[in-house]
Amino acid sequence: QVQLVESGGGLVQAGGSLRLSCAASGRTFSSSGVGWFRQAPGKDREFVAAIGWSGASTRYANSVKGRFTISRDNAKNTAYLQMDSLKPEDTAVYYCAADATGWARVAVAGYDYWGQGTQVTVSS
């Protein structure tokens, strides 16, 4: 059982940076994979980044590769998404999710637990 709460969203100018945090409660977080997804108005929820339980395995959507970095600190029960060089098309609600298998999954269906989301708005 894992509960997730995202924070760190906000309004930034194009080219700026934000760091999102995903705070988890639950004894199984350290063995869970974590994913970040985003959903823009009128669009499906899409994969952004994922990290395996140990942090050794990471995966990124092509649209954010080289700009975003996913990380985790199991001692703090927290995962992060560092977003640099933000673009207006990055505007969306960002969600973190936990996967009980511990794998860095890319599919929405692969995740067991979801946070409520945090809004990221990038202005031009």
Question: Could you read off the pLDDT tens digit of each residue along the chain, which spans 124 residues?
Answer: 789 999 999 999 999 999 999 999 977 888 999 999 999 999 999 999 999 999 999 999 999 999 999 999 999 999 999 999 999 999 999 999 999 999 999 999 999 999 999 999 999 9
Bridge partner list, 33: 99
Cβ of 124: how many Cβ atoms within 10 Å? 9
CB-side exposure of 58: number of CA atoms within 13 Å?
18
Q: What residues contact 38, with CB distance under 8 A and at least 6 apart?
A: 45, 46, 48, 90, 92, 93, 94, 95, 120
For residue 82, give both structure tokens.
């560092």
pLDDT, position 109 = 95
pLDDT for 28 equals: 83
